[in-house]
Structure 1
Amino acid sequence: MTTEPEQTPPKRVFQPDFLTELFRNPLDPGYADAAARKAKEGDPAGVRKWTASGIATITLVALGFLFVVAYQQTVRDEPARTKARATLVEQVQNRRDETVRLQARADQLGDEVSQLRERELGGQTAARLRDLEAATGLAPVKGSGAKVRLADGPTPINAVTGERNTVARVKDTDLQLATNALWSLGAEAITINGQRLTATSTIRQAGEAILVDFQPVTTPYEVIAIGPDDLAKDFADGYAGHFFRQLAAKYGMSFDATDAHNVTLAAATELKLRVAEPSTPPPAPSASISGLPGDIASQEPHSSSSSEGGR
């Protein structure tokens, strides 16, 4: 009886993965070949060495020449740029001073015109004209009313796009809503950051800026109105106050409505009219109409200043 020898199972060989091979042999085979070739052939000599050295020298000289030319050009142009900038700054300052001087001259001439008008028109007519100017915004007014304050909330920058989140910023429509609500509640005169509103005033958005009659206003926005005693309370309890409280709670915007006492609102800078019609008094009632009060003919129609605000 013969016994067959036991067969040993084949040995399993595991192929190394990429990361294992990378850590085991970190040097690229090309570097090893280059090192072996250099050890065998030695450093380049003769024409090859001089050619490589010449190319490197020429490259360095060319780069140095370009740097020198750029530096000289910058140094030579710097006085011209500085001089041009100084000239522009001087022109801006001169124009600003000229504007201030002309505005002072215009105010002086306006006072002279007012004095001449008072002297020529007389008491009752001049008083009526002053009332009309106050109602239309051409004259400063003083009184009590409400102060509405609006301010932008936090405007974080998106980390991915780099854009600024402008949802929490006060818009031109917000200021329009505030002023229209004040007009509807009986306001007689309104200013936004000192800019007096008239029948032709505009509140517009220009990029990230808000323009009131083409004058830029910035946050915080103070809307001051002269009107009834409960103007601030009525505004806060109305639809506009409810809307601004929602914006403050949702986006972090600032909103406040308080009473304003003895405030003076400046006159509008300029009122541009394109169309005007003469005002004609109403016809006197006929004597044959009976049942009317006797003083009805002497009464003048009442014109509310809020309607002069263009709302």
Structure 2
Amino acid sequence: MSRPLGDASPARAALREPSGAWEGLGSIGGPPDPDGGSGKRRWGPDFLTELFQNPLDPGYADAAARRAKEGPRTGARRRVAAVSAALTLAVIGFLLVVAYRQTMAEEPARTQARADLIGQVQNRRAETERLQRRADALADEVAALRDRELSGETAARLRDLEAVTGMARVRGSGARVTVVDGPTSVDAVTGERRTEAQVKDTDLQLAANALWEAGAEAIMINGQRLTATSRIRQAGEAILVDIRPVGSPYEIVAIGPDDLADDFRKGYAGQFFETLSARFGISFETAEADDVTLEAATELKLRSAEPSIAPAPSGSAKVSSGAGSPVPGSSVTEGGR
């Protein structure tokens, strides 16, 4: 017949107490007195205190007592112990020598492989830079031929469209927003790095969307121009703008109205970053940007789309899709801190 846990006898309950937790149970008919008497509460020492009070393991004490009783080893026992110790040391030394020789034999191959990989990366990087310069030169040549063949009004309209879509470099004034990661701490118990003070991809998305909403005509993050198809994503602890990594400090430069910096600072994005700065130590600064140049976007993929629903009324507010240029009637909010 099973019994409720509350019906357990005091003697059985005493078995569940930690060793040394109670000194004396008194009568079996009731619990010990926590205020003194026969049931005075006494907590056992912690591990460090126990270690310093009893530094010698009982096994070593027994061995020392047995040796004192039997006396030092002599004769055959002593020779056997010496031979065993010598053989053990010889085997350990042999294994160390073999391991060292294998490590040294494999080191040149690892060093050579690493050097080859570094050389390939440098060669590919140089080739990429050369091809990019060639592509820029061809783009300028195409633009010159286009301007020569098209009429002035048509060429001007095309240049405006290129500036809006990010296919051409633009120049003007606007705002400069700088966000820097806060101090990163390490948990003293688990050793895990705490990333609350690091800037997230959603933070940069919010900043870009707020700048578009405030009237920005072009935006660049750490040299990467944003377009209607740009994406800001988190990959581990790295942030990618499209497919290119960016790191702290994050500099967001936007071209737009003269009061763009003030509107951003006083708006919801400015309040959001002020809260991050006060709570996590993330550095945040907004300033006016005069006469800045934003380069054209690289690897821009052209796409064609048609709305599946009727367009919104002309008086509706414009918000942005993801982190790209403003698109009427669409918005993206992803994740959170």
After TM superposition, the runs of 4+ consecutive aligned structure 1 residues lying more than 4 A away are none
Residues 134 and 140 of structure 1 are in contact (CA less than 8 Å); yes or no, is this contact kept in structure 2? yes
Which ranges in structure 2 are unaligned for 5 or more consecutive residues?
A: 1-49, 307-317, 328-337
Deviations 1:140-160 (A, max 9, x none): 111111111111122211111
The DSSP-based 3-state class of the residue aligned with 1:145 is strand
The Cα of 1:195 is off from its aligned counterpart by 0.8
SS in 2 for 1:229: coil
CA distance in 2, matches of 1:83, 1:152: 37
Query: What whole-Å deviation, never above 9, does each CA across 1:169-208 have from its counterpart, x for those lacking one?
Result: 2111111111111111111111111111100010111111
Q: How many residues are paired up? A: 259
Structure 2 residue 282 is the aligned partner of structure 1 residue 253: yes
Other-structure match for 2:65: 32
Report the Cα distance in structure 2 between the residues aligned to 1:249 and 1:168, rounded to whole angstroms. 11
1:133 to 1:74, Cα distance in 2 relative to 1, 3 A? same
Q: Is residue 2:81 matched to residue 1:52?
A: yes
TM-score, normalised via structure 2 length: 0.71
The match for 1:107 is 136
What do you get for the CA RMSD once the two structures are aligned? Answer: 2.6
CA–CA distance in structure 2, aligned partners of residues 224 and 208 of structure 1 = 23
Specify whether residues 249 and 60 from structure 1 end up closer, same or farther in structure 2 by C-alpha distance, changes over 3 A only.
closer
1:89-146: CA deviation from partner (whole Å, max 9, x where unpaired) = 1111111111111111111111111121112223221111111100100001111111
Q: Which of 73, 86, 90 is the aligned partner of 1:43? A: 73
Whether 1:122 aligns to 2:151 is yes
Question: How do 1:1-311 and structure 2 match up within 5 A?
Answer: 28=61, 30-38=63-71, 43-46=73-76, 48-275=77-304, 309-311=325-327
TM-score scaled to structure 1, two decimals? 0.76
Paired residues of 2:167 and 2:297 also in contact (CA < 8 A): yes
Instruction: Check conservation: 1:200, 1:310, Cα contact below 8 A.
Output: no
Checking the alignment, whether the CA contact within 8 Å between 2:165 and 2:228 is kept in structure 1 is: yes
- Equivalent AA in structure 1 for residue 73 of structure 2: D
Q: Which has the larger radius of gyration?
A: 1
After superposition, what is the alpha-carbon deviation per residue over 1:263-309, rounded to whole angstroms, capped at 9, x for unaligned? Answer: 111110121134357xxxxxxxxxxxxxxxxxxxxxxxxxx9x9981
CA contact (8 A) 2:213 2:326 kept: no
CA shift digits 1:243-274 (9 cap, x unpaired): 21122122221112211111111110121134
Distance 2:78 2:267 in 1: 90
- Output the CA distance in 2 between the equivalents of 1:86 and 1:209: 26
CA distance in 1, matches of 2:61, 2:87: 32
